[in-house]
Structures are given as structure tokens and as C-alpha cells.
């Protein structure tokens, strides 16, 4: 393939921005169109996207596309992916793959039948610090991996769709903890062969039962434990009660050593400012005093490399690895569904996921 990969985006808010930023860095890509219900003109102007549509179906019918990024609210992922597949377009879907297990399974089936590639956006699998951690694990530096702790936390979402569990699929468990869940599957799951066999979870119950976000119908705090068939355990956390900026951390404990990775608060830049400055990191609400501003946040979190990887797969006509595959996305939705069931029953839920 010698022509540039023609890409479109569905959505025009936060996730669409980091997709557009990542594509703009890729010499193999040209962004041709965007579809959204609002913010279209500012978004298209910012990223020099020539054509806009208020209806993604019209965009799929009118444009000759190689890849579409689905950056719409969670509850729309199923419909947009299905429409893209039926139009013969490869799809990159943001997390979560879907809000229900049934929808996620249907998406995989339709994409297979249509012969299009479906990529799942777990950016942690492409984060340079976490890729380095995996290299060290693969060298045997930690011996046998026994236990992993991983979390994504911040002070709450501004999206009305994410605050409503009907449109989000839940609360902080599906919206934040899905990142550490997906990455731990990438680390320990052996491409789906080392299944998760037990989960146990505790969450807040939304609205007045939340710690802070009484207007959210989904939970603002969630903890969960996963047990793998090979015996490893993982402790997963996702919450909206953490102030001071997004806090993503991973700890890996082995028989011969351990690794601790701070993705978001571990910048090598230290700043002290009395008046403050424009931006430090995602969800930080001030920049006064001592701060540690992110350095190329989109690259560090893996967004740039995950989208470059998807483009390379299209050019080379190869299927994605497990960490970017719809099978990983489906496993995440299945595991989170089991975690919600565990919270509701107060008991361990057993099965085979991954």
C-alpha cells in the first residue's frame, strides 16, 4: 500500500482530541473527515480536517476510508462500530469496547463477518514506561510474577454521559479501572491463555451512596481482585475521589524483585510557581506551588503509539496483538460485568475470562 491511510473520527471532545493529535504525528495518515453532534467546526479547524458531518452514517457512505476512530460516548460504541463494519471500514474503538457483554460479542462477530479489523484502545499496552517494565519482566529480573497492583484515579469526569451509568455502563470501575484491568491481562494473560478465574469487587452504589459525586448514578469508588488460572493475583482500583491530578500507578511483585511505575505523577520536571501556569497534567485543578508537569502526556500514556500500531497493521494487513485486540476488549467487559455481579452479591464470582 503506497497511498496514505485515510482516517475519520466519530466524536469531537476529549478522546477525539488525543486521537487527532496522534494521527497528526503520523506521516502515513491523512485525516479526511469527522462526524459529531456538536463542537464540529472548532474541532475540524484545530486539526485541519476538511469535511464535517452531523451523521456518522452519512460520513461512512460518502468517504473512502481505511480506518475510523470511535471516540463517541460509551453507549454508542456498539452502533458506530457495527455501522463502520457494515460499510467495510476498519475500526479503532475507544474503551470500553461496549457497555454490555452482549454488545461486545456482537461487535466482534459483525467485524469478523465483514472482514474488517477491529482495534481496541488500551493505551497502557503502548505506554513507554509500561513497555519497559514488561521488557524487564520478560528478562526474568523479577523471577516469577506473583502479584500486581494497578490503578487509575482522578477527581471525576466532566462528561454527562460518563456520570450516568446507563450511558457509561457503570461508574469508575468501567470508566477508569478498565485500564489497569486490560493492562494486567496484557501482562499476565498470556494472550488469553492464562484466564482470570475469580473476581471479587466492592463499589459505592452511586448517587447519595457515593463518597463525593452524589450526582453520578454510577459509583465513584471501586476496588477489585482478580485471580488468574496460574495463581497470580491482581488488585485493581478506579475512583473519582482522588484530587491533585490523574493518578495512574502499577506495582509488580515477583519472587526475585519488584517494579513500581508512576505513569502520571512521576514527571522528571519539577516546577515551583506562585502565579501558576497553563497546564500540568490531566485533572490537576491548579498549578501553583510545587508541581510536576507531564512531558508529552499523550505519548507517555500510549495514545500515539497505539494508533500508529493500528495504522501499521492496516498497511501490513495483519491482525492486532492481544493488547490491542477486540478479544482483550471483550474480556475487559466480561470481567467488569462479573465484578459488578460480585459487588451486588457480596461473593466471589468464578468463571473463565480472557
Question: What are the pLDDT digits (tens) for 115-134?
Answer: 999 999 999 999 999 999 99
Domain residue ranges in the chain: 5-124, 127-302+333-353
pLDDT over threshold 50, residue 150? yes
Model pLDDT for residues 6-38, shown as the tens digit of each residue? 999 999 999 999 999 999 999 999 999 999 999
Cell of 53: 458531518
Cα–Cα distance for residue pair 158/173, rounded to 1 Å: 16
| Cβ neighbours of 166 (radius 10 Å) | 12
Which residues lie below 8 Å from residue 75, measured CB to CB, with a gap of 6+? 99, 161, 166, 167, 168, 169
Q: Are 225 and 147 in contact (CB under 8 A)?
A: no
Q: Are 297 and 281 in contact (CB under 8 A)?
A: yes
Residue 1 pLDDT grade (very low, low, confident, very high; cuts 50, 70, 90)? very low
Model pLDDT for residues 224-276, shown as the tens digit of each residue? 999 999 999 999 999 999 999 999 999 999 999 999 999 999 999 999 999 99
Which residue has 495463581 as its cell numbers?
Answer: 231
pLDDT at position 250: 98
Q: What is the mean pLDDT of the chain?
A: 97
Residue 171 pLDDT grade (very low, low, confident, very high; cuts 50, 70, 90)? very high
Question: What's the rounded mean pLDDT across residues 95-101?
Answer: 98
pLDDT at position 158: 87
Instruction: To the nearest 10°, report the CA torsion of 125, 258, 140, 301.
Output: 20
Question: For the domain 127-302+333-353, what is the CATH code?
Answer: 3.30.360.10
Cα–Cα distance for residue pair 331/95, rounded to 1 Å: 12
Which residue has 504525528 as its cell numbers?
Answer: 25
pLDDT over threshold 80, residue 2? no
Question: For the domain 5-124, what is the CATH code?
Answer: 3.40.50.720
Amino acid at each position: 500500500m503506497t497511498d496514505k491511510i485515510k482516517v475519520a473520527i466519530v466524536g469531537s471532545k476529549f478522546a477525539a482530541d488525543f486521537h487527532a493529535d496522534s494521527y497528526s504525528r503520523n506521516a502515513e495518515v491523512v485525516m479526511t473527515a469527522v462526524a459529531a453532534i456538536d463542537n464540529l467546526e472548532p474541532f475540524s479547524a484545530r486539526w485541519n480536517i476538511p469535511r464535517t458531518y452531523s451523521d456518522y452514517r452519512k460520513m461512512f457512505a460518502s468517504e473512502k476510508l481505511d480506518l475510523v476512530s470511535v471516540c463517541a460516548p460509551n453507549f454508542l460504541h456498539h452502533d458506530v462500530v457495527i455501522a463502520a463494519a457494515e460499510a467495510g471500514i476498519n475500526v479503532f474503538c475507544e474503551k470500553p469496547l461496549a457497555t454490555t457483554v452482549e454488545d461486545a460479542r456482537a461487535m466482534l462477530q459483525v467485524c469478523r463477518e465483514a472482514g474488517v479489523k477491529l482495534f481496541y484502545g488500551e493505551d497502557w499496552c503502548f505506554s513507554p514506561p509500561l513497555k519497559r517494565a514488561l521488557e524487564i519482566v520478560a528478562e526474568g529480573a523479577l523471577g516469577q510474577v506473583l502479584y500486581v497492583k494497578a490503578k487509575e484515579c482522578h477527581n471525576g469526569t466532566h462528561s454527562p454521559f460518563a456520570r450516568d451509568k446507563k450511558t457509561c455502563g457503570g461508574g469508575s470501575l468501567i470508566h477508569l479501572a478498565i485500564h489497569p484491568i486490560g493492562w494486567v491481562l496484557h501482562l499476565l494473560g498470556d494472550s488469553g491463555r492464562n484466564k482470570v478465574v475469580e473476581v471479587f469487587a466492592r463499589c459505592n452504589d452511586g448517587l447519595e451512596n457515593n463518597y463525593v459525586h452524589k450526582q453520578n448514578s454510577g459509583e465513584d469508588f471501586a476496588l477489585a481482585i482478580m485471580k488468574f488460572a496460574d495463581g497470580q493475583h491482581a488488585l485493581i482500583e478506579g475512583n473519582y475521589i482522588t484530587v491533585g491530578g490523574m493518578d495512574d500507578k502499577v506495582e509488580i511483585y515477583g519472587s526475585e524483585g519488584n517494579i513500581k511505575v508512576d505513569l502520571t505523577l512521576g514527571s522528571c520536571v519539577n516546577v515551583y510557581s506562585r502565579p501558576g501556569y497553563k497546564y500540568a497534567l490531566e485533572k490537576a485543578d491548579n498549578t501553583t506551588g510545587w508541581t510536576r508537569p507531564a512531558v508529552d502526556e499523550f505519548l507517555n500514556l500510549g495514545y500515539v503509539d497505539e494508533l500508529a500500531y493500528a495504522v501499521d497493521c492496516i498497511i501490513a494487513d495483519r491482525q492486532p496483538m492481544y493488547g490491542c485486540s477486540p478479544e482483550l476488549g471483550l474480556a475487559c467487559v466480561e470481567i467488569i460485568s462479573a465484578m459488578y455481579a460480585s459487588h451486588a452479591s457480596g461473593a466471589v464470582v468464578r468463571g473463565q475470562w480472557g
